[in-house]
Amino acid sequence: MNAAAPRFAAVIFDMDGLLLDSERIAFEIGRAASEALGIVWREEVAFKMIGRNAADNAQMLLREYGADYPLAAHMAEFGRRYDALIAAGGIPLKPGAIELLNRLDELRIPRAVATSTAHARAAFKLERVGLLTRFDALVGGDEITHGKPAPDIFLAAAQRLGVAPASCLALEDSNTGAQAALAAGMQVRIIPDLLGADASVLAAGARALDSLHDVLRELS
């Protein structure tokens, strides 16, 4: 693909696990917060939470652990630990993130972040790693009615960019996010992080890549 004729008019990025190497960090903080509060930690439940927003994950925790789960205490402890790490600049970028954004600048292709993370925390994270100003729009998981895998957040991002969903390339690391982008009618690349790409997602049209460098090569 050459610079004069891109196959898409905008790029919509997920954030955690795609731009930021943060999912493993969140896992460990979730484990540590649970242990500090004396709460049972189950990794299989944490895997189910990948790609989903805080409201949906809260409901999942209550379903999995029961109505007496100390949800507010856990969320507060997790948030305290996680926000301290963000403030300290402790979240690294994924390989190829800067190079890809630089190439999109050269091609003058607009881009947005569509993340299940709440808007304020997402903006804080992106600002701390120097990426906030590299995007034309940011949609957080607290700004839409239905979280991923529903298409709402990707549709909202396309609307803020003023681009038809079918003309957008969506980049995701999670199957939940890829399902949302496919439901929005977008071209989808999935770059798996903690979980591999589901066969159903690939059958629906998502293309699996190894890294953001592979996306960059598509723009060469």
Task: Return the structure tokens found at 93.
Answer: 């970028």
* Phi-psi label, residue 77: left if phi above 0, alpha if psi -120 to 50, beta otherwise: alpha
Task: Return the structure tokens found at 89.
Answer: 């600049």
Helix (H) or strand (E) holding 168, with range, is: strand 168-172
Task: Return the structure tokens found at 211.
Answer: 């890294």
Residue 142 to residue 38: CA distance in whole angstroms: 28
Helices (H), the chain: 23-37, 43-48, 54-65, 71-87, 97-107, 119-128, 152-161, 175-183, 199-203, 212-218
Active-site residue set = 14, 16
| DSSP helix/strand/coil, 22 | coil
One-letter identity of residue 6:
P
